[in-house]
Every structure is written in structure tokens, then in C-alpha cells.
Amino acid sequence: MKHFFVQFSVFLVVILLTSCKKEKKSIVDFDHFPKEFQVKAEHIAPENGVVLGASNSIVVMDSIIIVNDSDQNGLIKFFSKKTGKYLGSAGKKGEGPNELIWAWKIINVNDSSILVIDIVKNSIFRFNVKHALQNKNYSPQLVVDFNKRGHTYAFSAVYIHDSIFVTPDTKVDNRLTFSNDKGEVYFKKGHYNDYSKNANFDNSKLLSLNKDFLASSPNGKVIVSALFYFDILELFDETGNFIKAVRGPVNLKNEFRFKNNVIIPKNNDRYGYAALYCTNKNIYAVFSGESYGKNDNLEGKNIHVFSLDGTPKCMYKIDVPICSIYVDEVNQVIYGIDLTNEKQIVTINLKNAKQI
């Protein structure tokens, strides 16, 4: 424990020193990926009789596939990775202290636990997977309630180091908030950038424009943001310093109408990124490119792959749209959720990809 506090003290000193430096805005544009591949997805679960409702998050832990389902009790569902067989569920829907209202996103923490974001309660809960599978009455543990300190909306969050959470901030002069599992703020970093054609948007509109997904490399060295309304990735270091933004290959140019600071899309406006995953080697981002008028679901058929420094590497074109992504680089398999099919859980074997 003493060793941890010494390490963390050094970590905070680094933060304070680097926060004094002026943030330099850097945008790198590109117009194509060096390689493009086509690959088909295989629908593996759920089996007949098991219904998935509002699922939009998937992780894999050893031999188990874990997905969220916010439409019914059993908010977290477990399936066999090998056979797709339904193994059980956990999490009661409700407003009680150990209940969740909307299990929005799953964060893989270690070999035994997951964290689940409740977007309505603005809180994060911890599930022990083994205990949840063994006990039908299992209740998750409340880890952090972000309502206690304000200025953070846990639409997306990442878990780095020991008990450090990174979330988007709701104040335009702070891009990321770093906090502990008690809801105490360690520090805030960065600013929201305006990537639109209109440089005069006020702060409230700027927050709407920068709606995003967050992910981090397992070693915590890189934090990545994928934006909803642009084909833009933002890269930050482990202390929240902005490194650069990578834009392309489409360079979306939406018009962005607003009503009461909420984006009212035109039919020809298009979504940007729909899902994000990061390993210690690469960034995987699901790109939509679909018009708002065509599809209400944020999902895509293109997987953009970047190195951790933001260099474009390749793009996979898949035959079904997915709204969530988990990557097993060792076995070269991508797991996703396809909301257009009753068997929502899909696997994409990259060994079968054919270069275009």
C-alpha cells in the first residue's frame, strides 16, 4: 500500500508540472488507409428462446462473452465464447442501491471483474463474474457515484491504473476528469476543440459536438476519444495531455443545426464513429458514415485500425453493422453486436479477411 502511495504521489507531481504547459492543438488529416480488407461476420448467439433487448456493449473474459441488456432484469448476460450457449445473467433493474436503471457500457477490469456504467444513475458498478454466475441473487457493488461531485457525465469512462477513472467533463474548459473510486477529483485536463465549419459555436453547443466514446490501452499509456459527429480520433497521454487529433479518411462536413443546444440533424448529415476499442498495440474504431435519416442506430460496417500514435494502418469492411466491439488480437477475432439480427452477437475472424 505504501508503495502505491509513493507511485501515485509521483504521478500527481507529473500532472501538475505538465498541466502548466500550454496545450498545442494538432490535427493530422489523411485520405485513405494503406490497406483495405473484406471479411464476413458470423452470428453465434443468443440461441432460440433467449432474447436480447437494448444491447450495445460487449466484452470477452476468458471463455465467456458478456453483453448488456437494458430492456429487462438480468441486465448483464453471459454466453459461452466457444458455443454461444446462454450461461446466465446478473443485475436487477430498479432504483434501489444495488440496482441499475440503464446498464449502458461494460468495462473489462481484470480476469474476474467487470465495471458497468449506469447512464441514468451516473454511476459505475462492479460485477464479480464468477460470483454472478454462481449466485442467482447476486448484487453488484456500487463503485463510484459521479453525482456527488458534479461536472461529469459517465456516458463513457475508462479505468486506468489503480482505482483511477477518466470521464468526459461537462464543462467546456475541461476535456477529461480524473477521479478515484470515491468520486474525489484528482485533476481535470484539456479543452474541447471545435472541429466544425462554424468557429462561433458557444460552449453548450461545443459540448454536444464533442459527444464521444472513450477507450484506453490496457497499460493505461494512451487514452483515445472517438467522436460521434466527425471521423476524428483524439489521442491523450495517461495524464490527460492532448497529443493530437487524427481526421479522415472521409472528413465529414455536417451542417449542425441546433435547438436548445441539442443537435437536430439534417437527413444528409452523417454519423462518425460508433464504437471504440484499444489494445496495447492498436486502436480499433467502428465507423458509421450513415446519414441520420437512414438509421436511428449508431453502428457501422467499417473498422478503422490505427497504431497507438494515430498512424492509419488498415480498414476492414464487414457485411453487417455493429454497434460495439471487442478485439482478441492474439486469436485475431473481433466480437461485436449486430442489432439488425436476432442473433445479435457476432464474431469476425480476421484470418479470413481478403485484401481488396
Render pLDDT for 208-229 as a digit per residue (tens, 0 to 9): 778 889 999 998 899 999 999 8
pLDDT above 50 for 254: yes
The answer, yes or no, to whether residue 162 has pLDDT greater than 70, is: no
pLDDT at 7 > cutoff 70: no
Nearest CA among 346, 349, 348 for reference residue 45: 346
DSSP labels, 70-121: TTSS--EEEEETTT--EEEEE--BSSSTT-BS-EEEEEE-SSSEEEEEETTT
Q: Which has the higher per-residue pLDDT, 264 or 345?
A: 345
CA distance 42 to 142: 35
Most distant CA atoms of the chain, gap in Å: 58
pLDDT of residue 71: 72
Q: Is 90 exceeded by the pLDDT of residue 313?
A: yes
Q: How confident is the model at residue 295 (pLDDT cuts 50, 70, 90)?
A: low
Kindly report the average pLDDT of the chain as a whole number.
84
Band of pLDDT at residue 328, cut at 50, 70 and 90: very high
For residue 10, pLDDT beyond 70:
no
CA distance 306 to 314: 7
DSSP result, 164-182:
EEEEEBSSTT-SEEEEETT
Tell me what pLDDT residue 108 has. Answer: 85
Q: pLDDT band at residue 22, thresholds of 50, 70 and 90?
A: very low
How many angstroms separate the CA atoms of 64 and 132, rounded? 12
Phi, psi for 115 (deg, rounded to 5):
-110, 140
Residue pLDDT, tens place only, 263-283: 777 777 889 999 999 999 999
Backbone angles phi, psi at 206, to 5 degrees: -65, -35
**Neighbour-count burial for 311-330, b at 16+ CB within 10 Å, e otherwise:** ebebbbebebbbbbbbbeee
Per-residue pLDDT tens over the stretch 55-111: 899 999 999 999 998 777 679 999 999 999 999 999 999 999 889 999 999 998 877
What is the model's pLDDT at position 197? 65
Distance CA 84, CA 76 (A): 15
Residues 6+ apart with CB under 8 A from 110: none
CA dihedral 290→294→299→302, nearest 10 degrees, is -30
Q: How far apart (Å, rounded) are the C-alpha atoms in residues 221 and 168?
A: 18
Question: CA 223, CA 110: separation in Å to the nearest integer?
Answer: 18
In this structure, the number of other CB atoms found within 10 A of the CB of residue 63 comes to 11
Residues sharing a CB contact under 8 Å with residue 48, sequence separation 6 or more, in sequence order: none
User: How many whole angstroms separate alpha carbon 46 and alpha carbon 55?
Assistant: 12
pLDDT at 309: 96
- Residue 146 in grid coordinates: 459521479
193 phi and psi angles, rounded to 5 deg:
-95, 150
Q: What is the pLDDT of residues 176-199, one digit of tens each?
A: 888 877 767 777 887 788 787 665
- Residue located via cell numbers 430498479: 94
Residues 23-53+137-355, CATH architecture: 6 Propeller (2.120)
Predicted confidence at residue 35, as pLDDT, reads 98
Kindly tell me the number of DSSP H helices and DSSP E strands found in the chain: 3, 29
pLDDT at 237: 93
Q: Is the pLDDT of residue 15 over 90?
A: no
> What does the pLDDT average to over 233-243?
93
Q: What is the mean pLDDT of residues 8-30?
A: 50
Residues 178, 166 contacting (CB under 8 angstroms): yes
Beta bridge partners of 116: 106, 125
Residue ranges covered by each domain of the chain: 23-53+137-355
Query: According to the model, what pLDDT value does residue 20 have?
Result: 36
DSSP reduced 3-state for 146? helix
End-to-end CA distance of the chain: 53
Distance CA 132, CA 90 (A): 6
Higher pLDDT, 259 or 6: 259
Interatomic CA distance for residues 156 and 170, integer angstroms:
12
